[in-house]
Structure 1
Amino acid sequence: MDLSLLAALNAERAARRAVVLVTEVATGRQRLVTEAGLASDPLAAVLERQLRSGRSGAVEADGQQLFLTVQAPPPRVVVTGAVHISQAMAPMARLLDLDMVVIDPRSAFATPERFPDVALLAEWPEAALARVPLDAWTAFVALTHDPKIDDPGLQAALRSDCFYIGALGSRKTHGRRLERLAEAGFSAADTGRIHAPVGLDIGAVSPAEIALSVLGEIVAALRGPRRRPA
């Protein structure tokens, strides 16, 4: 690979931005397509589909055999709330190759015993999210029912390019949440990004079932057409 391409690829990876290295099989010529340049690329539809899959592979496009090398950041799930649902989510997320971060200032809940092998931050979201930036490869989920914990995280997520934002609670609870976010300056278009009630509608009742529904919705958002802020 050309050293300038390698340097550009490494810079994008370091910034947690996806890139696709396009190699013409017949000639060996290579070019790099960044996430920012994807939409304007002549092969945008093919590249987008390959990027959503998260896998490298051979394709045929415009009469050429191409090999698309996908370099995508590890998808991450950031959760406010060291609760029963997030406890159930943690091992499922690991099986799905999703990095999970749990934020909860309540030290009685945020313990390594309850969350083994999980990145656990027993602090307020405002402090924790300064070290765990939210980006286009991050899903954010609010699970505490406590506005003092969930709202700062939701506000940070709405200001970011998170590919998924979800919040636990009934429609009545979410209505009050929307009122608070509107008072904080967020528009209806902004808050329309929030999946609430959170998760796929599978009739989930137990914490494990709710965790499954949430992760299912996250995977659907990750692998389906990417949703970006307007």
Structure 2
Amino acid sequence: MPDTADQIPEIAQTWLREGRRVAIATVVETWGSAPRPVGSQLVISDAAAMMGSVSGGCVEGAVVEEALAALEDGVPRLLTYGVSDDDAFAVGLACGGTIRVLVEPVEGADGIDAGYLDRLVEARAAKRAVTSVICLSDWSRLMMDGSAGTPLGEAVRAAIASDRSGVVELDGEEWFIGVHNPPLRLMIVGGVHIAQTLAVMARLAGYDVAVIDPREAFASAERFPDTALLHDWPDVALEAAAPDARTAVVTLTHDPKLDDPAIRAALGSRVFYLGCLGSTRTHAKRVARLEEAGYDAQAVARIDAPVGADIGAKSPAEIAVSIMAEMTERLRRPDTRPGG
């Protein structure tokens, strides 16, 4: 099942090509206990069909009404919901907090140009890191990758690096920078039982998943449908994949001949998570091998082992849950990363 919440530009493009009129709502700022993060989007058709979310259901009804009005006059809206718990409850934001939502019609007097949307979808399909930038005073739009040597370019580069959309103020004007980074990646070494569940969970969480195992009977299409399968030796596969700071690597084979080359390759990269299956005793032996190979204590400390959050997991599915939990913590709370 695809995660449609992250496919709003693509859904909008499809609906346009089907002849529908479309508006896109985006959370541009939040305060307090807002239910959805900045950058969350909702697409609305002229028939009031919608996909995605800007508040987890709290204020979607009000946003849809504004979107339908925007489709009629072609003018974007910048809306604020919340302020206090009582006010928030009045519009359905029962959890409190405040959200600021930008509603943009596609086409129209000041709306998003359909060609601009096409270029954004093309960049996302090519897995290029780009941002959709809009001036909140005159609705002018730019698509930027952070290469421009300007104050706005610097802000875009910082937003891409932090993977955080948001509003910046430059020369008295507010600009919303919507980040469209490539998907996170998970490289699983070992086509074992745990990997079968972990691959599915990671895809649901928005990861591009690949399973690396030279043993084709393990990494087979029957065992891993809809999953990229790499049958090279793990270090060769990882070198070709060029893992970066948006990549996680998990080794699950228990076999040093397969796991160790993958671990060494991952330690030579900027992966945000390196988790390795095995008991405390198994990991101690692993550490000894790495130290003998010349890896220092700081490098070895980057490994999360035994893999996964300590939730008492027993079954393969429970272990997969624990891995996803720990992976998510390392991603969203960088200060928890070992050896950092």
Determine the C-alpha separation between the residues in 1 that align with 2:289 and 2:326.
25
1:170-215 deviations in Å (ceiling 9; x for gaps): 1111111111111222111011111111111111100000001101
State the match for 2:186 in structure 1: 77
2:295 to 173, 186, 189: 186
1:26 is the counterpart of 2:134? no
Q: Which has the higher contact order (CA 8 A, sep 6+)?
A: 1
Residues 287 and 300 of structure 2 are in contact (CA less than 8 Å); yes or no, is this contact kept in structure 1? yes
* Bigger Rg, which one: 2
- TM-score, length basis structure 2: 0.54
TM-score of the superposed pair, with normalisation by structure 1: 0.78
- 1:174 alignment counterpart: 283
Q: Distance in 1 between matches of 2:197 and 2:184?
A: 18
> Does the CA-based 8 Å contact 2:188-2:209 persist in structure 1?
yes
Identify unmatched segments of 5+ residues in structure 2.
1-112, 114-118
Does residue 218 of structure 2 align to residue 113 of structure 1? no
Matches within 5 A, 1:1-230: 18=129, 20=131, 22-26=133-137, 28=140, 32=144, 34=146, 47=159, 51-52=163-164, 56=165, 59=167, 65-225=174-334
Q: Which moved more, 1:158-167 or 1:86-95?
A: 86-95
CA distance in 1, matches of 2:173, 2:305: 44
* Distance verdict in 2 for CA 1:101–1:43, change over 3 Å: same
Give the Cα–Cα distance (whole angstroms) in 2 for the partners of residues 48 and 106 of structure 1. Answer: 37
What's the CA shift for 1:129? 2.1
RMSD: 3.5
1:22·1:68 contact (CA, 8 Å) conserved in 2? yes
* 1:101 shift after superposition: 0.6
What is the Cα deviation at residue 119 of structure 1? 0.5
For 1:203 and 1:65, how far apart are their aligned partners in 2? 48
Give the percent of matched residue pairs that are identical in Structure 1 and Structure 2: 48
Amino acid at match of 2:300: T
Secondary structure at the aligned position of 1:67 is classed as: strand
Distance 1:135 1:177, change over 3 A: same
The alpha-carbon deviation at position 33 of structure 1 amounts to: 6.9
- Contact 2:160–2:181 (CA under 8 A) maintained in structure 1: no
Distance 1:101 1:31, change over 3 A: closer
